[in-house]
Amino acid sequence: MNNRNLAMSNNHEALEPKSKQQLKRDAEAAQTLGKALGELPAPHFNVLVARDVLPEKLCDALVEYRAIKAHEGRRRQLQFVGKLMRDVDTAPIQKILAEFERSGHVASAQLHDIERWRERLLAADDEALKALLQIHPEADAALLQKLIVSGRKEFVQKQPPRAARLLFRYLRDLLKSA
């Protein structure tokens, strides 16, 4: 096939109407995305509203969906949201949702990293403190040593982990500033 015939066949495919099954899949995908938007945590939903990627009518429908408590009412409102979503370009919305997901994974990884440092420090591993101070020379070595000793003592005496919590908070602030 030459280029002209290939271009004509591509145009012909673009002009063909979508099948009923494809329309149904598109509608279900729009409704699923609408449900995901409606169930976002309030701060994330507010970011979406602030970035002005949602049309006003869709935004109002999502706010109403979030307010409805009755199952059947939520289901009907979700169908309406799905209907409105069919006319919306979803690429910017999906991009923002992906950002939210990535930031959640990053935050989770950071918390795990902080937890690993705390466990290493409290596990009677003096090399861990030296390693931490080499990576973060701005850290308060005396405060860290005091929190580590107190945390170990609390663990041995089966007391509430007050010093371990303080150590976690200090490590969180230290690693966040770095």
Name the DSSP class of 1. Answer: -
Longest alpha-carbon distance in the chain: 83
98 vs 50: CA distance, rounded Å: 17
**178 or 42, which is more confident?**
42
Residue pLDDT, tens place only, 36-63: 888 888 888 888 888 888 899 999 999 9
DSSP structure string for 83-114: HHHTTS--HHHHHHHHHHHHHHHHHHHHHHHH
Contact yes or no for 77/83 (Cβ under 8 A): no
**How confident is the model at residue 15, as a pLDDT?**
67
Domain spans of the chain, in order of start: 18-88, 99-177
CA distance 159 to 172: 23
CATH number of 99-177: 1.10.60.30
